[in-house]
Chains A and B, each alone.
Chain A
Amino acid sequence: MSFLILLARVIGSFAHIALVLAAAPAVIGLVGVLRARLLGRRGPAIWQPYARLRRLLRKDVLTPETATDLFPLWPYVCMAAMVTAAALVPGFCTGLVTAPLSDVITLAGLLALARAATLLAGLETGFGFGGAGAARDLLFSVFVEASLLVLLLTFGLIAHTQTVDGIAEALRASHIGISVSLGFALAAMLAIALTETGRIPADNPAGHLELAMVHEAMLLEYSGGLLALFEYAAMLRLIVWMDLIGTIFLPFGMARAQDVLSWPGGLALWAGKLLVMAVALCLFEVSTAKMRVFRVPEFLGVAMLLGVLSSVFLFVAARIGG
């Protein structure tokens, strides 16, 4: 019996990884279509990102003369770190075999590793835009990291565990209801996620002006398959953050990996949650303008403050309740 459970968990984990890896471009495509529709355009097909990746894979890989031998290494590191992060964050079900690994700080570390590889890629060729983009991304990351850690404390206090899987289990099982703390935490988490995934208001993924770019500016010298790796990593980053937000704030209806019969429901709900989050993202993006670079630290400072407040509310509640 326990062997069967383990088998189900292993199959569930592989299904999760395969689904996330396959769905990542589709989510970007969906966001693109929805955004275009909201702006009154027809927009590209939802499958456009897949076609783009395939086209990039067919193209030649151009290596700048001024780049060092490590030029091809950074896309691999960035992509591998993001794939690992995607394997750790639960999607449609909890109880993956990677659950013991899914410590929140490990996850933060993997995101930092992917970021470091991207920053080094930006500095690799020694051209102006890459360095400017890297410097800006680094500035954002300083505030992101601090706000994220404070938020993790809130989740840890509510769930009494430090793994993403454990937090999902705890929040699904207990009826915490709508609390002020979780509301603050959600607002902070959304601000962090928008910055991390390079969306408006921190960065514009559809921007064409190098001076205003952040994430794209670091990749300007990359081409062909190596660029495909970076773009794929960016797609994974969006779905990982959506999974993370879905797992923590919308944990209802998640399947259990050991219970095969719960999978179809979990899968359907997972797709629904991704759709809802994509719509919310588009609505937010079309109704907001991109910020100046030096406004973003203020934006994230508010997120950090909200994170601290959500913990403090929990402390006060524990004091009054206990």
Chain B
Amino acid sequence: MIGLPGQGLHWRVDALSALFLVILIPQVVAGALAGMRGSVAYWVFVAGMVLALAAGDAFTLIFGFELMSAASWLLVVQGDRRPATLYGGVAIFSGACLIPALFLQAGGLAFGLILLGAGAKAGLAPLHSWLPRAHPAPAAGVSAVMSGGMVKVALYVIIRYGFVVFGPAVQPWWGTALIAAGVAPVLIGALRAMLEVELKTMLACSTVEHVGLIAVGLGLALRAKALGDVGLAALGLQAALLCVVAHALFKPLLFIGVGAVKAATGTSSLNWLGGLMRGMPRLGGLMLAGAAGMAALPLGPGFAPEFLLLHAVLASAGGGGILARIGFTALLAALGLSAALALGAGVRLIGIGFLGRPRSLHAAAAEDIGGGTLAGMVLLAGLCVPVALLPGFVLARLAPVIILAVPGTVPPALAYAPLALALLMAVAGGAAWLVLRNAGTRREVAAWQGGFGPAPAWLPFGDPATQPSATGFAEPVWRAIGLGILGPGQVDPGEALVLAPLARINTRAARVAERIRRATVRQRLAFVFGALVAALMLLGLVQGR
């Protein structure tokens, strides 16, 4: 029997746990199909997540959470040793914050510890910079479930405690803290996703951004709930939960797709890819669907959550104190910047990686996916369709969760109607197709290339240096924004301001310890003698009075 002595493990599945368990299913299936079927650690990892989500008491929850952390650490070590220490450190930190918090009285301290502990695991500021290092390390199937599932379990803990368990004790500043912890990763994640060349790192940065978006939605909802505005709270929760659902579909899709790219070409660096759509049309189409979600384009799965979130921020800025309203205006500007940067990251993924000319022979010779990888990706992309085109239907399924988190609310109806927009676009596109069908003949010719002559025969795809690289494509954004936020070394502020000082303290402490360890016999004797004299003097002083 596992569990506390005489207690065992308790299970309880309500609407909130059920939602998070349901979104886990497709990505776990897809991850297993993408080659993780035989890995014991993978299934232990999944079991940990299920245990944490279906837990009926705090002990079971923390047991599942730590099982998940330990198994995922093992999977990270199997992929790459370098980030494993950092990953383990963050997992221990989050456990150290969560364990006391779960057994504390409901209140500000307990929520603060939950936010620190679960936020570190989810990738909220200030502890977000480990995520782009650790998530790309394991195999693609595991990265997919880590980005799509594990961070969601951490967010589930925040929702479970912030809204349900600590519900009656909620304070407005909890929401403000959550928004503050979310907005920095939104901006930094989107910017880094635009600048990173390594595809898996890029996707992990985009995960940081989406976790931030979810946290902002949750924060708005928590703040509104504390202030008694249940309608706005429901809107914020709708945004956050729909983003959870959509992100759990398109991000695993993209991760598994990038794994397939790496398997087919031997690299996942955008600067060596290009033109993959020709050799890998099936993968290209699926990645296009995922990238549309990541870029939050209308008619894609990512737009409805973004739409709801922006409306929640607009509504929040409509009332309250003047400082709060100015803060929400700034939040709106930050969300706008990162939405456009996310669009840029999606365009860059498709435009540089899958369109254009191959930048290496490996990219030119890539063969399309098939078998389990294809099946898993088709499953995820197929489930994206209802989220993209029928978000109202999905939101209706989410209503019990929202009512559980914010009692006495009526979730508002969605003002975005993708089906009507799709109809309008289809009519316009169809009419254009009818006009163009008979207009002119279609011929394939050598590209104009700005008037350059044809490439020599030994360069079958032209000179790769004459086509913009991923780095070059991001260069204007880097110059205008990246330099200001990341500095000339392109270092994440989370790393420069949190991890680097910690590393410095560690080095200094190690130096002191080393000096003590290396002390000569004379030094040690002098220390013992000095301590004895000091103790006697102290004794004498106390006795003498």
* Pick from A57, A70, A126: contact of B439, CB under 8 Å: A57
Bound form: Cα–Cα A109–B340 in Å: 10
A190 contacts B by Cβ under 8 Å: no
B93 contacts A by Cβ under 8 Å: no
Cβ proximity bits A114-135 to B, threshold 8 Å, 1 near / 0 not:
0110011011111111111011
* Pick from B274, B296, B317, B347: contact of A134, CB under 8 Å: B347
Q: Which of under 10, 10 to 19, 20 to 34, or 35 or more describes the interface residues of B?
A: 35 or more
| Residues of chain A lying within 8 A (CB to CB) of residue B479 | 294
Cβ proximity bits B338-349 to A, threshold 8 Å, 1 near / 0 not:
011101101100
| Residues of chain B lying within 8 A (CB to CB) of residue A254 | none
| Most chain B CB atoms below 10 A, which of A135, A157, A316 | A135
| Residues of chain A lying within 8 A (CB to CB) of residue B447 | 64-67, 125-127, 221
| Residues of chain A lying within 8 A (CB to CB) of residue B337 | 142-143, 145-146
Q: Interface with B: A75-83, A200-208, A238-246, which one?
A: A75-83
A58 contacts B by Cβ under 8 Å: yes
| Residues of chain A lying within 8 A (CB to CB) of residue B357 | 66, 125-126
B351 and A84: CB pair below 8 A? no
Chain B residues 475 to 534 lying within 8 A of chain A, measured CB to CB, are 475-477, 479-481
B351 and A120: CB pair below 8 A? yes
A308 contacts B by Cβ under 8 Å: yes
* Pick from B343, B354, B480: contact of A68, CB under 8 Å: B354
A149 and B440: CB pair below 8 A? no
Once A128-B450, A146-B336 are accepted as A-B contacts, the answer to whether A58 and B355 lie under 8 Å apart by CB is no
> How far does the Cβ of B314 sit from chain A's closest Cβ, in whole Å?
5
B424 and A148: CB pair below 8 A? no
* Pick from A61, A115, A128: contact of B466, CB under 8 Å: A128
| Residues of chain A lying within 8 A (CB to CB) of residue B2 | none
Question: Which partner residue on chain B sits nearest A312 by CB separation?
Answer: B326
A156 and B318: CB pair below 8 A? yes
Cβ proximity bits A79-115 to B, threshold 8 Å, 1 near / 0 not:
1110110010000000000101101011001101101
What's the tally of chain A residues with a CB closer than 8 Å to chain B?
Answer: 86
Chain B residues 434 to 471 lying within 8 A of chain A, measured CB to CB, are 435-436, 439-450, 461-462, 466-468
* Pick from B281, B351, B480: contact of A123, CB under 8 Å: B351
| Residues of chain B lying within 8 A (CB to CB) of residue A127 | 447-450, 466-467
A68 and B335: CB pair below 8 A? no
Bound form: Cα–Cα A173–B435 in Å: 42
Cβ proximity bits B373-392 to A, threshold 8 Å, 1 near / 0 not:
00000000000000000000
A135 and B440: CB pair below 8 A? no
Chain B residues 51 to 110 lying within 8 A of chain A, measured CB to CB, are none
B467 and A126: CB pair below 8 A? yes
B542 contacts A by Cβ under 8 Å: no
A146 and B445: CB pair below 8 A? no
B36 contacts A by Cβ under 8 Å: no
Once A68-B355, A101-B421 are accepted as A-B contacts, the answer to whether A110 and B298 lie under 8 Å apart by CB is yes
B278 contacts A by Cβ under 8 Å: yes
| Residues of chain A lying within 8 A (CB to CB) of residue B333 | 146-147, 149-150, 304, 308
Question: Which partner residue on chain B sits nearest A136 by CB separation?
Answer: B476
Bound form: Cα–Cα A160–B291 in Å: 34
B399 contacts A by Cβ under 8 Å: no
| Residues of chain A lying within 8 A (CB to CB) of residue B317 | 153, 157, 311
B448 and A70: CB pair below 8 A? no
A297 contacts B by Cβ under 8 Å: yes
| Residues of chain A lying within 8 A (CB to CB) of residue B477 | 135, 138-139, 142
Q: Interface with A: B8-16, B176-184, B201-209, B412-420, which one?
A: B412-420
Bound form: Cα–Cα A138–B475 in Å: 11
Cβ proximity bits B255-299 to A, threshold 8 Å, 1 near / 0 not:
000000000000000000011011001001000000000011111
Once A127-B447, A141-B343, A153-B332 are accepted as A-B contacts, the answer to whether A297 and B318 lie under 8 Å apart by CB is no
B314 and A153: CB pair below 8 A? yes
Bound form: Cα–Cα A169–B336 in Å: 26
> How far does the Cβ of A283 sit from chain B's closest Cβ, in whole Å?
29
| Residues of chain B lying within 8 A (CB to CB) of residue A57 | 435-436, 439-440
A126 and B355: CB pair below 8 A? yes
Bound form: Cα–Cα A128–B450 in Å: 8
A319 contacts B by Cβ under 8 Å: yes
Once A79-B432, A81-B425, A127-B466 are accepted as A-B contacts, the answer to whether A162 and B311 lie under 8 Å apart by CB is yes
| Residues of chain A lying within 8 A (CB to CB) of residue B428 | 79-80, 83-84
B330 contacts A by Cβ under 8 Å: yes
Bound form: Cα–Cα A156–B328 in Å: 14
B474 contacts A by Cβ under 8 Å: yes
B539 contacts A by Cβ under 8 Å: no
Once A135-B472, A142-B344 are accepted as A-B contacts, the answer to whether A109 and B440 lie under 8 Å apart by CB is no
Bound form: Cα–Cα A125–B347 in Å: 14
A59 contacts B by Cβ under 8 Å: yes
| Residues of chain B lying within 8 A (CB to CB) of residue A58 | 439-440
B339 and A308: CB pair below 8 A? no
A109 and B303: CB pair below 8 A? yes
> How far does the Cβ of B449 sit from chain A's closest Cβ, in whole Å?
5
A63 contacts B by Cβ under 8 Å: yes
A65 and B415: CB pair below 8 A? no
Bound form: Cα–Cα A128–B475 in Å: 14
9 closest cross-chain pairs (CB), A and B: A131-B468, A126-B356, A123-B351, A64-B447, A146-B336, A149-B336, A145-B340, A83-B428, A126-B357
Listed by A's residue number, 5 A-B pairs whose Cβ atoms lie within 8 Å are A65-B447, A112-B340, A116-B295, A125-B356, A126-B462
Given contacts A113-B298, A149-B333, A149-B339, 12 further A-B pairs with CB under 8 A are: A61-B436, A63-B442, A66-B275, A69-B278, A109-B303, A109-B306, A110-B298, A116-B346, A145-B343, A157-B317, A225-B436, A229-B436
